[in-house]
Amino acid sequence: MPLQIRRAGVVSFLRENLLTLLTIIGVVAGTLLGWGLRATGYEWTRREVMYFQYPGELFLRMLKCLIVPLLVSSIVSAIGSLDLSLSGKVGLRAIIYYMTTTVCAVMLGIALVTTIKPGRNSEAFSQPAGTKLTKDVLTADTILDLIRNVFPENIVQATIASYRTRLAYDVNDTRAIKGHLETYKIEGDYQKGSNVLGLVCFSIVLGITLGKMGEKSRPLQNFFHTLSEAMMIITGWVIWLSPLGVFFLVTAKIMEIESFSELVGRLGMYFMTVLLGLFLHGFGTLSILFVLATKKLPCRYIAKMGQVMATAFGTASSSATMPITIGCCDEMGLDPRITRFVIPIGATINMDGTALYEAVAAIFIAQLRKVEMSFGKIVAVSVTATAASIGAAGIPQAGLVTMVMVLDTVNLPAEDVSIILAVDWLLDRFRTTINVVCDALGAIIVASLSQADIEKTRQNNDKELATAHELSDLEKGEH
């Protein structure tokens, strides 16, 4: 190949992928600088780390600010513009994909942790589990909260807070004196952070309604469509800050690490088990499903997701990465109605990496605590790990919070989460990367499976339009 052509190829590759390359460089440079600053031996104070993190924090705030308007407008406009039966089919395909991949991830995690047994010989944590000092909310409470949040009682409140059950202790409770075991009151509370699940559910219903209302709903549909387009334009601007944003976020995170020895020492095997699981799931299970569903190889598509992966790794948040994931799917030429429908839902409920990690972590802790794992308990862990991944918010380390529910199924106290805390920040970045890759691959799969239906609906609409025109021409002729 002549040198000039080759050089032109390299230049056009660099131009097309400049942002992705810069973001990846941001991650690598941030890691190196973080380690370099640690190596100086200087004890960085929290305030100094905060200053380092500050530019990254601003980037994260800009992305987060786009989540609610983008999520609501995308889902409403996508569903509103799809034929009702078509949106049903698309939704069903997406849900089947999410469930299949999540169940596969959990099973893979369980298979790995029970074969590798990372917690088997660890002496460091061999003391028996302490008696529970506090009574944590039960698995049932968490699952009921999950369902409560699907139906927000106030949609405005759902943009800023979500519901959580709290157990309040009352030592003077007379029922306890009468011999009842429950010495607490069950209370509800709203905690900070958007109720994304409720927003998704409301947007789906609103989208379906607008679709049903037809022409009358046009102004509102146009509003949501324009809002979604506007949010994507802003995303296009914010995205250019991602190299710098992830650079500072990663640097500060590395400076913050408390104990490097735990990462490679006591928790090393656990860390490697989760990492191996995520790798096998991403490159094995998801790739196989992709090939089966689309009859195409995923490599070309995954290669185009560099920007998405680097941002997910840098921010550790699938929700914050969502605008960038939608942008990436648009660039790949997917039908925007499909992308805007399935990506926001996927970013909220489809977290394979989190599901795999929840299962591995709970069984790892049970191994450390020498808790016998019967078949029934393993099934319970897989069910609760799936629910925990659906309930986890797309924000950094949200999996740790829902982990309490999985631990409860094996009778371990919530405090045991602290065992895996030292490595969680890093695992979080890897599992978030898998979470978003799974969403993006899902959008491609659903788009490819729905292609024929979309084409058929378009032809039917064209036919209806042509008949309507003919009729009106006839009427005009008669007059």
391 binds ligand ASP (CB under 6 A): no
CA distance 241 to 83: 37
The backbone torsions φ and ψ at residue 165, rounded to the nearest 5 degrees and listed phi first, read -75, 140
Q: Residue 73 CB, nearest distance to ligand ASP (Å)?
A: 21
Q: Which among 336, 328, 281 has a CA at the least distance from the CA of 301?
A: 328
Residues sharing a CB contact under 8 Å with residue 272, sequence separation 6 or more, in sequence order: 118
Q: How far is CA 437 from CA 142, 254, 412, in A?
A: 27, 24, 32
Which range, of 49-57, 62-70, 169-177, 431-439, touches ligand ASP by CB under 6 A?
431-439
Q: Is 384 in the site for ligand ASP (CB under 6 A)?
A: no
Q: Rounded to an integer, what distance in angstroms lies between the CA atom of residue 364 and that of residue 391? A: 21
Q: Which region, judged by CB under 6 A, interacts with ligand ASP, from 51-59, 186-194, 226-234, 397-405? A: 397-405
d(CA 255, CA 54): 13
In angstroms, give the least distance from the CB of 131 to ligand ASP. Answer: 28
β-bridge pairing 161-169 and 184-192: antiparallel
Other CB atoms within a 10 A radius of the CB of residue 461 amount to 11
Tell me how far, at minimum, the Cβ of 63 lies from ligand ASP, in Å: 12
- Mask of contacts with ligand ASP, 294-323, x by CB under 6 A? ----------------------xxx-----
Q: Is 432 in the site for ligand ASP (CB under 6 A)?
A: yes
Main-chain phi, psi angles of 263, to 5 degrees: -60, -45
**3-class state of residue 350 by DSSP:** coil
The single residue among 157, 397, 448, 457 that binds ligand ASP, judged by CB under 6 A, is 397
Check residue 198 for interaction with ligand ASP (CB under 6 A).
no
Determine if 325 is a binding residue for ligand ASP (CB under 6 A): no
Nearest residue by C-beta to ligand ASP? 399
* Site membership for ligand ASP, residue 114 (CB under 6 A): no
Contact between 109 and ligand ASP per CB under 6 A = no
Number of residues that bind ligand ASP (CB under 6 A): 16
Q: How far apart are CA 224 and CA 10, in angstroms?
A: 40
Q: How far is the CB of 354 from ligand ASP (least distance, A)?
A: 3
In 3D, which of 341, 288, 317, 290 has the Cα closest to residue 95? Answer: 341
* Distance (Å, whole) CA 403 – CA 355: 10
Nearest distance from C-beta of residue 398 to ligand ASP, angstroms: 4
- Taking CB under 6 A as the rule, does residue 396 contact ligand ASP? yes
**394: contact with ligand ASP by CB under 6 A:** yes
Residue 197 is a binding residue for ligand ASP (CB under 6 A): no
Fill in the per-residue mask, 351 to 380: x = in contact with ligand ASP (CB under 6 A), - = not in contact: x--x--------------------------
Which of 110, 368, 398, 405: binder of ligand ASP (CB under 6 A)? 398
Within residues 260-289, the interface with ligand ASP by CB under 6 A covers none
Interface with ligand ASP by CB under 6 A: which range of 233-241, 277-285, 293-301, 391-399? 391-399
Helices 218-238, 196-213: axis angle to 10 degrees equals 140
Give, for 109, the enclosing helix (H) or strand (E): helix 84-116
Residue of 75, 392, 412, 449 that binds ligand ASP (CB under 6 A): 392
How far is 385 from 403, CA to CA, in rounded Å? 8
Q: Where are the alpha helices (DSSP H) in 350-420?
A: 352-368, 375-391, 398-409
What residue ranges bind ligand ASP (CB under 6 A)?
316-318, 351, 354, 392, 394-399, 428, 431-432, 435
